[in-house]
Amino acid sequence: MKTLEEQVREIADREEIKELTAKYAHWVALGEGAKVAQLFTDDGAFINEVIAPSVVDPGWPVFEPATALGEAGQSTQLGGYAIVTADDLQAAVSMAEHCPTITRGGGVEVGVLAALPPEHPAEQIRSRLSKA
């Protein structure tokens, strides 16, 4: 069972993600690339200054809450990941439901990857990697 502090932190994290998602969608809709990039200043510093020389796949943020199948969460160990193309979240969940890890007591998390503007540090790294 989670402590009250853990529960409060989880709620705060969800609210922060919702707020970031709303800001992101707003600035993308208005075509304000510079303001979108400002949302990721900390990400950019981490990606560009700390891990850039070693990045093989910069990943993507997941802004919407993920769907967990089986035992997935803080107490589980990451065993790998896959990025799939699906028509929607439910289609991806339907695929994930067949993962044999679930029958072995493990779990799968399924989320929608955010569309990133070219100014986002992860997209800049992805662009450099594709040219290498």
pLDDT tens, 52-106?
777 777 777 776 777 888 887 777 777 778 888 899 999 999 999 998 888 888 8
Residue 27 CB partners (closer than 8 Å, separation 6+): 33, 35, 36, 39
Average pLDDT estimate for 19-36 = 76
Average pLDDT estimate for 100-117 = 85
pLDDT(1) > 90: no
Q: What pLDDT is attached to residue 40?
A: 66
Q: What are phi and psi of 77, to 5 degrees?
A: -95, 135
Q: What pLDDT is attached to residue 90?
A: 92
CB atoms within 10 A of CB 114: 18
Report the alpha-carbon distance of residue 22 to residue 29 in Å, rounded.
Answer: 11
Q: Using a pLDDT cut of 90, give the percent of the chain over it.
A: 8
Q: What pLDDT is attached to residue 87?
A: 93
Q: What pLDDT is attached to residue 44?
A: 66
Q: What pLDDT is attached to residue 91?
A: 92
Q: How confident is the model at residue 47 (pLDDT cuts 50, 70, 90)?
A: low
Report the alpha-carbon distance of residue 118 to residue 132 in Å, rounded.
Answer: 18
Average pLDDT estimate for 37-57 = 71
